[in-house]
Amino acid sequence: MATVIRSNVAPGVVRRSPAAVLRLLAERAVARWQARRERARELNELFSFDERELRDLGLSRSDFMSIENGTYHRD
């Protein structure tokens, strides 16, 4: 007699142990934190430039936030 095991998991869906889920969540949180720190360092570097250096780059201080959030476009 064959035993049939039914699962409520859809085909192609990977079940993970709770420890694996926690590890994945922690890795994602660390990656987000590292990306945020990198953006903060880049923004701090922009703020360290004087007006002449910014003008040489074709930037002004009012451009910084759009650069930081990825919406900056040169005209």
Q: Read off the pLDDT of each residue in 60-70 and give the average, rounded to a whole number.
A: 89
- pLDDT tens digit sequence for 2-61: 666 666 767 777 788 999 999 999 999 999 999 999 999 999 999 999 999 999 999 999
Instruction: Parse the chain into domains and list their residue ranges.
Output: 18-68
By residue count, the chain amounts to 75
61 with 43: CB under 8 angstroms? no
DSSP one-letter code for 60: -
- What six digits make up the tokens of 72? 């900056």
Contact 54, 61 (CB under 8 A): yes
